[in-house]
Structure formats: structure tokens, C-alpha cells
Amino acid sequence: MNTDRPRATAGLRHVALYVSKFDRCVEFYVNLMGMEVEWHPDEDNIFLTSGNDNLALHRRTEPATAQGQRLDHIGFIIEGIDEVDRWYRHLADSGVSIPKAPKTHRDGGRSFMCLDPDGTMIQIMFHPPLSAP
């Protein structure tokens, strides 16, 4: 066993996605999810933030392959359990595809799944160990 391992990381706070529907995805994450533009270096790349994270969107210029992006979903943590249903109504009223309605989990968490314009599965979640202020 290697005993020279560095200290634990500060957490997973950066995700980068290749997207085919670049402009629609930017609109989704900025206008519907409330993220802010951190850096827009060119027309094919944008970096967004909620204040403590970073989501990079890169315009897909080549067809997706089986070896390409293989992601089940990404999650957005929200602070209150009641906010799950408010987010659900907000996104449903905005016409967002929602394949899984809100559900309370055995650990006291609550979440639902929706799709961004490119088909990436998004989980909106209240997760007690991370959501509590």
C-alpha cells in the first residue's frame, strides 16, 4: 500500500461536457438553473459557476462515439427539502423533460431527474450530508 498518498481532495466541483446543442445548453444552465458565466473564451467553450463549482460546456464538433462521453448523470445540490418540489415545478413549467418525478429517499433526501437540451441527465437533489448549511 502506498503511504505517500496526498491529503483527500476538496471534492468534485468541476464537470466538463461535450454538447451538440451548445447554445440551448448554455441557455438551460444560465436561465433555468441560475448559473453564471465565469469565462467565455470563444464561441465553442464556456465555463459556468454556481459560486462553488464549475461546469464547462464544450461544443461537440465531431459525432459522438461509443468511447466518448459516458456519463449517467450530474447532480445539483439544493439546501432545503421543500426546494426540490419548487425546482420540479419551475423546470416542468419551463418545458424541461422530466423522466423521474420527485422522490423521497430512505436517507431523508429528496430528488428528481430531468434532461438538459442535449440529453444529459440532471439530478436536482436535497442530500442531508451535503445540503445542510
Percent of the chain with pLDDT over 70: 92
Lowest mean pLDDT of 44-58, 68-82, 84-98, name the range.
68-82
Q: What global pTM score does this model have? A: 0.89
CATH superfamily of 12-61: 2,3-Dihydroxybiphenyl 1,2-Dioxygenase, domain 1 (3.10.180.10)
Q: Quick one: which of 126, 124, 48 has its CA closest to 91?
A: 124
Q: Which residue has the cell 441557455?
A: 27
CB proximity list for 116: less than 8 A, separation 6 or greater: 19, 25, 28, 29, 122
For residue range 4-28, what is the model confidence (pLDDT) as tens digits?
A: 888 888 888 999 999 999 999 999 9
- Give the CATH architecture of domain 73-133: Roll (3.10)
| Predicted confidence (pLDDT) at residue 65 exceeds the cutoff of 70 | no
| Predicted confidence (pLDDT) at residue 2 exceeds the cutoff of 90 | no
Read off the pLDDT band of 62 (50, 70, 90).
confident
In the chain, list all ranges with CATH 3.10.180.10.
12-61, 73-133
